[in-house]
């Protein structure tokens, strides 16, 4: 899911979509890995029998449907600028309304209410917006893409 221009993966909020676990297809990969393991050991074929020993396994069919739903909903993302992510994103709506490429262009970014959950969930967001202001979206995107190429994901920030 590469893009020719990393700058196209900088969302309105300033996050780099290429570092997102959903964009990196981590959910899809995890679900497919789990499915492979279950199938390899034949558990999918013997769930009714296994449910006699472990009652929670009687819900395997629902669990399988949930996994399918996760892949459908979070399996791939085109990135914020291409319409991916939260369709009701208030940050995207605001930035588009103001004609901004990113919130780094906005003088209210530091106190912006729609950005508050992003600042809370992504501790480096303020630094990202500063880097975009100081250097450019393109340079920030190149630096982030190098980190992603080395295995970086925003999921690491939550550990």
- How confident is the model over 24-73, as pLDDT tens digits? 999 999 999 999 999 999 998 998 899 999 999 999 999 999 999 999 98
pLDDT digits (tens, 9 = 90+) for 99-127: 999 999 999 988 899 999 998 888 889 99
**Residue among 20, 13, 53, 23 at smallest CA distance from 137:** 13
Mean pLDDT score across all residues of the chain: 91
What is the rounded CA–CA span in Å between residue 15 and residue 94?
A: 15
**Whether pLDDT at 157 is above 80:** no
Q: Token pair 């880097």 is at which residue?
A: 131
Is 140:16 a contact under the CB 8 Å cutoff? yes
Q: What's the pTM value of the predicted model, to 2 decimals?
A: 0.82
Q: Could you report the per-residue pLDDT of 69-103, keeping only the tens digit for each?
A: 999 988 888 888 888 888 899 999 999 999 999 99
Q: Are 22 and 77 within 8 A, CB to CB?
A: yes
Structure confidence at residue 123 (pLDDT): 86
Give the SS3 label for residue 97. Answer: helix
* Spatial distance between the Cα atoms of 79 and 140, rounded to a whole number of angstroms: 16
Dihedral angle at the C-alpha atoms of 129, 20, 159, 56, nearest 10 degrees?
Answer: 150
Of 142, 103, 152, the C-alpha closest to 5 is 142
């Amino acid at each position: 899911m590469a893009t020719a221009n990393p700058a196209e993966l900088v969302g309105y909020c300033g996050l780099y979509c290429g570092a997102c676990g959903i964009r990196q297809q981590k959910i899809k990969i995890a679900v497919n890995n789990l499915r492979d393991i279950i199938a390899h050991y034949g558990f999918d074929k013997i769930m009714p029998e296994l449910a006699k020993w472990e009652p929670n396994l009687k819900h395997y069919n629902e669990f399988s449907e949930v996994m399918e739903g996760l892949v459908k909903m979070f399996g791939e993302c085109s990135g914020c600028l291409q319409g991916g992510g939260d369709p009701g994103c208030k940050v995207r709506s605001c930035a588009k309304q103001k004609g901004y490429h990113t919130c780094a262009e906005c003088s209210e970014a530091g106190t912006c209410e729609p950005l508050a959950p992003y600042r809370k969930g992504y501790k480096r967001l303020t630094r990202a917006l500063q880097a975009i202001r100081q250097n450019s979206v393109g340079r920030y995107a190149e630096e982030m893409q190098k980190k992603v190429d080395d295995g970086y994901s925003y999921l690491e920030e939550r550990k």
